[in-house]
Amino acid sequence: MSTYQRSVRVAAPLERVWEFHSTENGLKALTPDWMGMTVKSVTGPDGEPNPTVLEAGSVLEIAVQPFEIGPPQQWTSEITARERGDGSAYFTDIMTDGPFSEWEHTHLFYADGDETILTDTIEYELPLGPVRGVAGHLAVVGFEPMFRYRHRQTKKLLE
């Protein structure tokens, strides 16, 4: 599997950054318009629609259509872990259906005084058979602008 990682320092307390990233509205605010994302449904771990917080067991049904090219791609993601400790927190979402053979995104949050260090780590595999190793490294070309945007937006909205 290939790995992509990017970190940002946010001049906002851990609790504020953590809470923002724990909601559907946070996801929408951090997704660039050019991704053409539509949240079709969000279900909480107990089956409730539109939960306030995306707890472990929450499932998101999303459609993305980058640059409005081609048909929308369906994406199902499940929050598989979510924990908050003393000075740190994390949650992990796994794509259970969508364009990648595998996708695991871990969002790590570390308190550093009144600031937060946010690190996104994605482990992924493209569905391209024998060329997936080379193509996996090229996928960074798509990830980099998206996560630069996400991190700029996090700073803009929370600092």
Q: Measured between alpha carbons, how far apart are the two ends of the chain, in Å? A: 35
Answer whether 0.75 is exceeded by the pTM: yes
Contact residues for 97 (Cβ-Cβ < 8 A; gap 6+): 74, 75, 76
Looking at residue 158, its pLDDT comes to 98
Pair type for strands 38-43 and 115-125: unpaired
The residue among 53, 48, 46 whose CA lies nearest residue 25 is 53
Q: What is the pLDDT of residues 55-109, one digit of tens each?
A: 999 999 999 988 888 899 999 999 999 999 999 999 999 999 998 889 999 999 9
Domains of the chain from N-terminus onward: 2-158 (3.30.530.20)
Name which residue leads in pLDDT, 30 or 68.
Answer: 30
Looking at residue 129, its pLDDT comes to 56
Q: What is the pLDDT of residues 122-145, one digit of tens each?
A: 998 877 654 444 444 445 457 889
Q: What is the pLDDT of residues 37-55, one digit of tens each?
A: 999 999 999 999 999 999 9
Alpha helices (H) along 31-92: none
Instruction: Work out the average pLDDT over 20-31.
Output: 96
